Amino acid sequence: MLIKMLIYWFSIALFVQCECFNIENDVEASNIAAVQYNDHDKIRPCPHFDLNCIRAYFKQHSSCVVSHGPVPDPLKLQNIIFHLPHANMSFVLRNSNVGGLNGKVVEFYVNKKTHKLVLAAEMKEVTLESSQMIAKYSRKAKESIELNDGVSGNYGTITFTTVFPDMTNLYLAEAETNSYIEDSNVKYYIGPKMSTSAEVAVSDSFDRVRKNLGLDLQEGFVFLGPIFMANFIQYNICDFGIKYG
């Protein structure tokens, strides 16, 4: 009797294991099918990412003027603004020099299901330098505390991905750009005047900036990424007549 009961429970356990395995396989198969379905929706008008082909596509599907580059190196930008919410600070960079924006296109496709266009470019040794960075620490019901000094940074390799919401009517102002930084351990320099505030809260904020470089990059490039990629597009592919920076 005991042996029969053991065999019975073992059979149930084996059945449950088999059913779970089948469910997992079904989910995995479904995920694979979804990926294949999504890939099926992608069309690459320029399979070798040839810039002349990409320029022709932009010319056909927008009112921009074809450009042939390159991006000036360094590219001089008069005004760059970005924010670091985690430190409660905003930054204004005057007369900045940006280097390394003459990258290569690593992805270009349209999605016939979502009707979106994706353009990605990889750029190596991206640098940013400004002799005048104004740091603003926000305060409740008071004017901001401002500090001013130079800054420079080498961000290494970055892949910028820009998504246009309408693949047949491209408009740069409506596009979204995200940034993928290969190594968050970037080289940077911030002038000593940024640490001279007598306000403890400001000093604490700068400590957070220095100790959370990965978060700084994540938040900062929400603003910097679109500026850098927009200049790449307008110098190398097609000029929409919009000033970025």
CATH C-level class of 44-239: alpha beta
**Whether the bond into 45 is cis, omega within 30 of 0:** no
Q: Which residue has the tokens 């970025």?
A: 244
Token representation of residue 117? 């266009």
82 Cβ contact partners less than 8 Å away, ≥ 6 residues apart: 90, 91, 93, 219, 220, 222, 223, 224
CA nearest to 178, candidates 112, 107, 114: 107
Residue spans of the domains in the chain: they are 1-42, 44-239
pLDDT tens figures, 7-52: 334 343 333 333 333 323 443 443 333 334 468 899 999 989 999 9
Question: Could you tell me which residues are beta bridge partners of residue 132?
Answer: 94
122 Cβ contact partners less than 8 Å away, ≥ 6 residues apart: 103, 104, 106, 157, 158, 159
Q: Percent of the chain beyond pLDDT 90?
A: 67
Q: Which of 28-32, 156-160, 195-199 has the highest mean pLDDT?
A: 156-160
**Prediction pTM value:** 0.81
159 Cβ contact partners less than 8 Å away, ≥ 6 residues apart: 106, 120, 121, 122, 123, 179, 180, 182
Mean pLDDT of 67-72: 96
1 has a pLDDT exceeding 90? no
Q: Percent of the chain beyond pLDDT 70?
A: 84
* C-beta pairs of 202-211 under 8 Å, 24+ apart in sequence: 202/137, 202/145, 202/147, 205/87, 205/88, 205/89, 205/137, 206/87, 208/86, 208/87, 209/84, 209/87, 209/89
Burial of 111 (0-12, 13-18, 19+ CB in 10 A): middle
In this prediction, residue 70 has a pLDDT band, given cuts at 50, 70 and 90, of very high
210 Cβ contact partners less than 8 Å away, ≥ 6 residues apart: none
